[in-house]
Amino acid sequence: MSRRALLSTAGMVGFGSVAAMTGTGAFSSARADRGLEVSVADDANAYIKIEAPDTSKANVGEKVDLLEITNHWKAELEIDRVEFVGEQSTLEDISAENTPLSEIDDRTAICAKCAEVGNAEGELEFIVSTNNATASIVRPFSVTCHPVIDPVIDFRGNPNDQSAQVFLCADSDREIEVIVRGESDASDNSEDDEKTVNVTPSDGVNLNKEAGVNIITEIEINNEIYTESTGECKGASGNKSSNN
């Protein structure tokens, strides 16, 4: 019997005869601690689905998801004793959020906080249990922790004039998410707009053009609200900065 077909064999309790655990790539290891078979199966047949997150990067001081777990079993699943295997300096405060998973298709993430800049690769171990059965799983992860971006917001011109422009620049070639709020035009009947755009601010970005908002009233980046200039984007072309 191949390793992928069956990683560990024991009695038939808890989940049933087999608890199928699956995800992107093979497990580093899995073992039955208390009478539970653990095998690798196709996602459609998995009782527990384990996947790598869509986004595996964050700024220093922010949380980053290491694994995503979905309950496909009709029983409450508890995830605990989450820890790194070996030394890990780039990440800290590892935990599983929103547990237990009470119902089928409930989801949670194992996450950690970026403690310093760098790439973090390694393995983590966690315990999955239900009723009287327990399984221990070791799984690899790979994430990147970036330095905190210090954005410069440059409001240029009269903010009530459609000729006004707002630029964003930063010493970073990494794409960041920006929420732009404003008005589609200068008429009294215009409705407020909110657009979310992902931009690379290294060379100075015209947010009016990127978001398609004519009059911008505020910018939100990393939960910080900006309603006036914090500096000048010298490399960006447009009206003179409102700071000058």
3-state secondary structure of 191: coil
pLDDT score for 203: 74
Q: What is the pLDDT of residue 193?
A: 83
Give the DSSP H/E element, type plus range, for residue 69. Answer: strand 63-71
Residues in the chain where the model's pLDDT stays below 50: 1-43, 240-244
Per-residue model confidence as pLDDT tens digits over 157-213: 876 676 789 999 988 778 888 999 998 765 555 557 899 999 988 878 999 999 999
Strand 19-23 to 48-51 pairing: parallel
Pairwise CA distance, residues 75 & 104, whole Å: 7
Q: Residue 203 class from Cβ within 10 Å (0-12 exposed, 13-18 middle, 19+ buried)?
A: exposed
Tell me how far CA of residue 116 lies from CA of 60, 62, 123, 125, 144, in angstroms.
6, 10, 18, 22, 10
Tell me, what amino acid is at 50? I
Report pLDDT for 195: 93
Q: How far is CA 209 from CA 10, 30, 173, 177, 212, in A?
A: 61, 51, 19, 15, 5
Prediction pTM value: 0.61
Give residue 187's pLDDT.
53
